[in-house]
Amino acid sequence: MPELPEVETIARHLRDGHEDTPPLPGKQVERVTLRWPRHIARPSAAAFRRRIRRQTFRDVGRRGKYLVFGLDDATLLVHLKMSGELYLARPGQAAQRFDHTVFHLHDGWELRFSDSRKFGRVFLVDDPQLVLRPLGPEPLSAAFTPGELAARLRAHRRVLKPLLLDQTFLAGLGNIYADEALHHARLHPLRRSNSLSEDEAGRLWAGIRQALSDGLHHNGASIDWVYRGGGFQNHFRVYQRTGQPCPVCGAPIRRRVIGQRASHFCPTCQPRGRR
């Protein structure tokens, strides 16, 4: 699933234009094709078709793993889920097999939502907080401090790795960047959140921001055919590096399933107990 750096990269490319595609802001929707109406979570598919017509894209942003599009008098939210891809297609460009939701724009360009597994969701709402309110803080925000993270960790008695994946605890972090952040912080993924000292919480705060910043620098990670625009996969410290040497100490990276998700860590740099 695309995580914060991948979604932010998509938002930037759509907002500012990328390579041979123009910026999306300023383009008006003429109509929409819904080949998989269940993409539309809110409102109904019929109401969505009616209301999206003649709406102009004014801005493109991100909140957590959601793409946020400001329109004339509404907000369009897109969650890519497991296999979603959102891209601009030039006039006459051949459709792809999984282009299920297509926004036909006034100048012939198309904004296409390709989604092989059909898990993605689209919302058209007056108030985006109806969808976004449950999300936790943005980890790269200036308002997100080490003290706030420490307080949030103390408020739970949960295993650290699944807690970091909980979008109500922290928005935008997924399996890749949680593993990378924990390695930066030298913390075992099975530690209990309320067991962390102030110093360890500070290390985790720095590790989260470092992992996400590194991902953004490389335009995210391309690890399968869904998201193909990044290079961070060439700089992983632990994720999907089972058996390979830790870049810090040289010990073999281990893999363990935690909360039904594969977790990768260094047993030497990330001991189970406190150091």
How many CA atoms lie less than 13 Å away from 71 in the CB half-sphere?
20
Identified catalytic residue from 27, 65, 186, 191: 65
Of 72, 94, 85, residue with least CA distance to 6: 85
Distance of CA 60 to the CA centre of its chain: 15
Whether 3 is a known active-site residue: answer: yes
Catalytic residue list contains 261 = yes
CATH class of 4-132: alpha beta
Task: State which CATH number among 3.30.70.270, 1.10.8.50, 3.90.110.10, 1.10.10.10 fits the domain covering 146-265.
Answer: 1.10.8.50
Q: Which of 2, 5, 139, 189 is catalytic?
A: 2
pLDDT computed for residue 273 by the predictor: 76
**Is 192 in the active site?**
no
Catalytic residue selected from 137, 261, 267, 271? 261
Report yes or no: 111 and 88 within 8 Å, Cβ to Cβ: yes
Q: Cβ contacts of residue 137 below 8 Å, gap of 6+?
A: 143, 144, 148, 170, 171
Cβ(191)–Cβ(163) below 8 Å = no
Q: Any idea where the domains of the chain sit in the sequence?
A: 4-132, 146-265
| Residue type at 1 in one-letter notation | M
The pLDDT, as a whole number, for residue 195 is 97
Over the chain (275 residues), the average pLDDT of each successive run of 10 is: 93 95 98 96 98 98 98 97 92 93 98 94 98 98 97 97 98 97 98 97 98 96 73 95 98 96 97 73
Whether 4-132 shares its CATH topology with 146-265 is answered no
Q: Is 30 a catalytic residue?
A: no
